[in-house]
Structure 1
Amino acid sequence: MTRIDAKDSALVLFSGGQDSATCLAWALERYKTVETLGFDYGQRHRVELECRDGFRAAIASAFPQWAERLGEDHMIDLSILGAISDTAMTREIEIQNTASGLPNTFVPGRNLLFMTIAAAVAYRRGLKVLVGGMCETDFSGYPDCRDDTMKALQVALNLGMETRYALETPLMWLDKADTWRLAETLGGEALVELIRVETHTCYVGERAELHDWGFGCGQCPACKLRKRGYEAYRAGEQVTTAPV
Structure 2
Amino acid sequence: MPAPVSRAHTSALVLFSGGQDSTTCLAQALAKYKRVETIAFDYGQRHKVELEARLNVLRELKSQFPQWAAKLGEDHLLDLAVLGQVSDCSLTRDVAFKMESSGLPNTFVPGRNLLFLTLAAALAYRRDLQVLVTGVCETDFSGYPDCRDDTMKAMQLALSLGMDKRFLIETPLMWIDKADTWALAESLGGQPLVDLIIEHTHTCYLGDRIHRHAWGYGCGQCPACELRARGYERFESRGAV
Q: Which TM bucket (shorter chain)?
A: over 0.9
- Partner Cα separation in structure 1 for residue 115 and residue 67 of structure 2: 32
Partner of 1:105: helix, strand, or coil? Answer: coil
Structure 1 residue runs of 5 or longer lacking an equivalent are 238-244
Distance 2:138 2:49 in 1: 25
Tell me how far 1:6 sits from its aligned partner.
7.2
Among all aligned residue pairs of Structure 1 and Structure 2, give the percentage whose two residues are the same amino acid. 66
| 2:218 corresponds to 1:234 | no
Match of 1:34 among 25, 36, 42: 36
Q: CA deviation at 1:204?
A: 1.0
Q: CA deviation at 1:52?
A: 1.1
Alignment correspondent of 2:224: 222
CA distances 1:199-236 after superposition (whole Å, capped 9, x unpaired): 00011111111100111111111000000000000001
Within the candidate set 153, 178, 181, 2:180 is matched to: 178
Per the alignment, residue 58 of structure 2 pairs with: 56
- Contact kept, 8 Å, 1:6 with 1:127, in 2: the verdict is no
Conserved? CA contact 1:14–1:52, under 8 Å: yes
Correspondence 1:113 to 2:130: no
Question: Shift of residue 7 of structure 1?
Answer: 4.0
Structure-1 residue corresponding to 2:100 = 98
Match of 1:12 in 2: 14
Aligned residue runs from structure 1 range 26-175, under 5 A: 26-175=28-177
Name the Cα RMSD after superposition.
Answer: 1.1
Helix, strand or coil at the partner of 2:31:
helix
Q: How does 1:189-208 map to 2 (within 5 A)?
A: 189-208=191-210
1:53 deviates by 1.0
Question: CA offsets per residue over residues 47-90 of structure 1, 9 Å max, x none?
Answer: 11101111001011111000010000000000000011000000
Whole-angstrom distance in 1 between the partners of 2:93 and 2:9: 41
Superimposed CA distance per residue, residues 9-30 of structure 1 (whole angstroms, 9 cap, x where no aligned partner) = 1000000111000000000000
For 1:34 and 1:163, the matched residues in 2 are separated by: 18
Number of corresponding residues: 233
Distance in 2 of aligned mates of 1:185 and 1:7: 23
Structure 2 unaligned segments of length 5 or more: list them. 1-6
Amino acid across the alignment from 2:115: L
Question: TM-score, normalized by length of structure 2?
Answer: 0.95
1:167-224 alpha-carbon deviations (Å, 9 max, x no partner) = 0000000100000000000000000000111000011111111100111111111000
SS in 2 for 1:42: coil
